[in-house]
Structure 1
Amino acid sequence: MPRSSKKRRPNNEPAEPESSSSNSSSDNEDDADEPMDNNPQENVQIDLEARSPIDSDRDAILYFLEQSFGSTIKKSILDLNQFTTQLITQQTCGSVFYQPLDSTMDETDDEDDEPPVLGVCSILRCDQQFNKQLQAWLLDKCSDNEQARKILQSSKCVLFINERYMNIPADISLPAIRTLREEITYSIDYWIVHAKLRLHKSDSNTICYVNGEEEIFQQHSTVSVDYYPPQDSSGEWTHRRKIMFVSSDKLDQICSDIEQKLKQ
């Protein structure tokens, strides 16, 4: 998944890609042979490219942040518009993903035909110096976990932004994470992963990581904290969030484990 130098502007309105799909089943945590893409959705098989975020990606990035934190969160608690600006202005760090236009298309076609952004992989620094609001929110969510609070207050932490449409497979995650690590120019003690989980109402043992690769982050995490978002139920599933603290020295092994999982 090479970084693209293409300068054409993607659509501001995110849209799901049209492509052939294959079935995906929900994941049981005890089954090590389950596929990486373990959410109860259909996965589309498409070729994606990556590039640095630009200002015209603002609506799409905001959409993915709302997907992570919830669209109803108050601006006074978490200003997702501000986070969107931070992700764009970082310039040298982070990627958005898109499906490149067919090479047979006329390059002079109307910009309405531009490919939509289908995902984002980046980081936000979360400490008193760089993002007090984000650190305060994390401290509140981790208020009952002394170890998590100590990490937030005494370590260099970043929030890993890892969002995409639910039917985009986990194959994009490994090159995205590796590219992101190469782009980071400052020291980090912990990556904080804000994972989305689904629990089946009729079977408490059926726990699905919406982004399957994040289960591997959990396996290597130092500590994790669960909470339920305001709207935590739909259909047969109950929604949950898991905040994981993953030491940076675990990233090599995590990438290796993701690679092995994707081969299964």
Structure 2
Amino acid sequence: MSAPPKKQELETEESSSSCESDGDNEECMEYTGNETVNIDFEGRSPSDADFFGIKQLLQQLFLKAHLNLSELAELIIGQQNIGCVVKQSGAEELNEDDVEEEDDDDGLMEVFGVTSVINLSCKRDQEIIGQLRTLLSELANEHATTDTAELIKTVLADPEKPLGLIINERYVNIPCQISVPLLESLSKEITKAKEKNKPFDFGYYLFICKLHKINANQTKKKKNKRQSSEEILWSNPEEEIIDQATELKFEFPVETDSGLGGNWSEEDKMMSSFRRVLLFPSDRLPNIIDRIKEAVA
């Protein structure tokens, strides 16, 4: 990032156990209640060391889509002064012995979130850009209304109004308040990049949001064909605000993912996983960020 890393202290509720972790008692791993844990996070410029952490976050967004996520992670890392990763403040203070004892899987958890933007209208010969464009076109043709699909097709074909895909991924337990400084910082970085005539002068922005639907009426009524009401759970709550400010959108179902993990009882209602694609003109982004700020304050 062009600016110094930002830090924000947040409270997160995480599952915890009341017994000591001795590695021998499996019951210690069971959920027993919530604790409030104060953690300082900060945004940093992505580096090569963040590759696997970024890739894992991209996997939870795109699931089994046929995309070269390694190349996408490298693209995010390679964009100078655009985007950031979320890390725990003071994580670099681990001593050398601690670092040597960590395995590769532990290293993945160092990246708690990633925020960036990808230009889908330039470098079309790049494999990942071509894959993303193809995926978006196919999904729009299959799931969007005719008007929305046509607009997406037009935007993808118009080099004068580039389309920017905003990546807004983090782990589920991190509160949505952190999205405000991340999106504000990204918006400022895009403005600075445009002033330097870099390819970040977008005409439209696109979000791909993760959500889960719960059928409020589990019993089917053959005589009454009314659609049962559905409760929507957003993985990133601030994206509901973006959804409310966006007219052009479509959604599609995905295979069940691990975004909402935990132990479930027989009484728990079944959830279906979806992705919702939101498209809006770039000049709306500052207002959308303001609305998110008001909603999460």
Matched with 1:136 is 134
Structure 2 unaligned regions, length at least 5? 16-33, 194-199, 218-228, 261-268
Matched with 2:216 is 202
Match of 1:240 among 262, 271, 274: 274
| Cα-to-partner distance string for 1:18-67 (whole Å, 9 max, x where unaligned) | x86279xxxxxxxxxxxxxxxxx998642200111111111100100001
1:219 aligns with 2:253: no
Please give the secondary structure, in 1, of the residue aligned with 2:39: coil
Q: How well do the aligned residues superpose, as a CA RMSD in angstroms?
A: 2.9
Q: Which moved more, 1:107-116 or 1:118-127?
A: 107-116
CA contact (8 A) 1:125 1:158 kept: yes
State the shift of 1:251 in Å: 1.1
Distance change >3 Å, CA 225–CA 106, structure 1 → 2: closer
Please give the secondary structure, in 1, of the residue aligned with 2:54: helix
| Cα-to-partner distance string for 1:60-86 (whole Å, 9 max, x where unaligned) | 00100001000x33xxx3111110110
State the shift of 1:159 in Å: 0.8
Report 1:71-150 matches (<5 A).
72-73=64-65, 77-101=66-90, 110-112=98-100, 116-127=110-121, 129-130=123-124, 131-143=129-141, 144=144, 145-150=149-154
1:21 aligns with 2:13: yes
| Counterpart-to-counterpart distance in 1, 2:121 and 2:138 | 14
User: How many pairs does the alignment contain?
Assistant: 227
Matched with 1:60 is 53
Match of 1:262, as an amino acid? V
| Counterpart-to-counterpart distance in 2, 1:99 and 1:199 | 31
Compare relative contact order (CA 8 Å, sep 6+) and give the higher one, 1 or 2: 1
1:161 aligns with 2:167: yes
Please give the secondary structure, in 1, of the residue aligned with 2:90: coil
CA contact (8 A) 1:224 1:245 kept: yes
Report 1:25-64 matches (<5 A).
45-64=38-57
Structure 1 unaligned regions, length at least 5? 6-18, 24-40
| Counterpart-to-counterpart distance in 2, 1:78 and 1:46 | 33
What TM-score results when the alignment is normalised by the length of structure 2? 0.68
| Counterpart-to-counterpart distance in 1, 2:94 and 2:110 | 17
1:177 aligns with 2:186: no
| Cα-to-partner distance string for 1:192-224 (whole Å, 9 max, x where unaligned) | 000001101335331111101111111222411
Percent identical among aligned pairs is: 30
Distance change >3 Å, CA 45–CA 159, structure 1 → 2: farther
State the shift of 1:149 in Å: 2.4
